[in-house]
Amino acid sequence: MHPLIYDWNGESKPAALKPRVLLDDETLRDGLQSPSVTAPSIEQKLTILHLMDDLGIDTADIGLPGAGSHVVRDVERLAREIAGGMRIQANCAARTVIGDIEPIAAISQKVGLSIECCAFIGSSPIRQYAEGWTVDDLQRRTEEAIRFALGEGLRVMYVTEDTTRADPDTLRRLYSTAIRSGASRLCVSDTVGHATPTGAAAVVRFIASVARECGSDAGIDWHGHRDRDLAVVNTIAAIDAGATRVHGTALGIGERVGNTPMDLLLVNLVLMGYLERDLTRLGEYTAAVAESCGVAMPPNYPVLGRDAFRTATGVHAAAVIKAFRKKDPQLADAVYSSIPARLVGREQEIEVGPMSGRSNVIYWLEKRGLTPSEEIVDRIFTRAKRSSTVLTEEEIRSLLNDTQHSTINNPQ
């Protein structure tokens, strides 16, 4: 934070009091449930997995082997890669049925890697009614699945789907059953993006109280979706309420409008003092997922989109340019940006367009080692004012060439 910035955001809770939080990346499982993504090849999955590891992400969901042999094959390959010396740990999703858990156990034993089993089951009354389930059925399936997984040497995270729309009595019964059966983590899921920050905090505190009632120190996970575009703030609220591990996907890909964006969550957790991370490879991570999954990143996507640190507006650019001229990189990075571009390996960019001033043109030229003569500046500035968009690098260099040819052919 630049010393000239008064940070109202830090008034409520100093960084020293922020809880430690773990990250679970769901890109290679839940993220691929989007109906619009292209399934990445195993080579692309391996690249993404290594970028997760480089970013210090703690665990990765590497697939749901119960979905078929093609998933089993990829999960086994990813598990072998992790077992080969990566820091990141593995987990796999499974319905609370033995048939889904068996292939996870088989892969774990074959590869020699501890894999956490993320056993999920629907919990809300609306799901129960639609599916024809009873809570007694859900409890029985919960106990059978967890005890089988533990018998196979797997750690278990118990996941209730649609937690944020489930009633307290049902949640108490299901999570108590999971704890008694041996689950080491309890996951709260905002499956349809229903929660607000207040609701996210309330349900996490409730599940924490259930764990205490059972005498359990099970960790609590938060899994959020972005249907109301509240996923990041909900995740932070969940952390403050007691969640110790939170989930996300690169670029927020996932079913419907997607999951909590892991990239934006990382940026906010670092800026808010929850984590310390080197995020200079964050752009590589999102770019790899965008390319392999066929996802277009909007130009105005926060932090990592093309326009995140670009400006062509005269008054804004003038302030950035003045800061650059003071030879204070931190000032230049903060005067018109709440996020330091250098945090993610980028820099502030000044463009030239119809809303630009002459200072934009002068800075653009100087940045590239070109002399901003009055004639060149006038020519570029006049073209920019007649344009309906920001001038491209090629357009400006074409004007430079035209000016040079004009000077040669018409010497003073």
Identity of the residue numbered 134? T
Burial of 272 (0-12, 13-18, 19+ CB in 10 A): middle
Judge contact between 82 and 88, C-beta under 8 A: yes
Which pLDDT tens digit goes with each residue over 57-80?
Answer: 999 999 999 999 999 999 999 999
Contacts of 185 (CB under 8 A, 6+ apart): 116, 155, 156, 157, 158, 218, 219, 220, 221, 245
pLDDT of residue 381: 94
Question: What is the 3-state composition of the chain as percent helix, strand, coil, each rounded to the nearest 5?
Answer: 50, 15, 35
Contacting residues for 360 by C-beta, under 8 A, at least 6 apart: 312, 314, 317, 321, 350, 351, 352, 353, 384
Which residues, 6+ apart, have CB-to-CB distance to 283 below 8 Å?
A: 304, 344, 345, 346
CA 321 to chain centre: 31
Q: Is 300 exposed, middle or buried (0-12, 13-18, 19+ CB in 10 A)?
A: exposed
Domain 9-293 maps to which CATH number in 3.20.20.70, 3.30.70.1230, 3.40.50.720, 3.40.1010.10?
3.20.20.70
Chain segment 179-202, per-residue pLDDT in tens: 999 999 999 999 999 999 999 999
Q: What is the pLDDT of residue 360?
A: 92
Q: Mean pLDDT throughout 203-232?
A: 97
Task: Write down the pLDDT at residue 11.
Answer: 60
Tokens of 234: 């909900």
13-33 pLDDT, tens digit each: 665 677 889 999 999 999 999
User: Coil, strand, or helix at residue 95?
Assistant: strand
Burial environment of residue 143 by CB neighbours within 10 A (0 to 12, 13 to 18, 19 or more): middle
**Backbone phi and psi for residue 242, each to the nearest 5 degrees, phi listed first:** 130, 0
What percent of the chain clears pLDDT 70, i.e. is strictly above it? 96
User: pLDDT band at 4, cuts 50/70/90?
Assistant: confident
Domain boundaries, the chain: 9-293, 310-409
pLDDT of residue 14: 62
Q: What is the pLDDT of residues 243-298, one digit of tens each?
A: 999 999 999 999 999 999 999 999 999 999 999 999 999 999 999 999 999 999 99
The span from the CA of 373 to the CA of 361, in Å, is 10
CA-to-CA dists, residue 32 to 252, 290, 303, 346, angstroms: 11, 12, 23, 28
> What pLDDT does residue 13 have?
62
pLDDT at position 335: 87
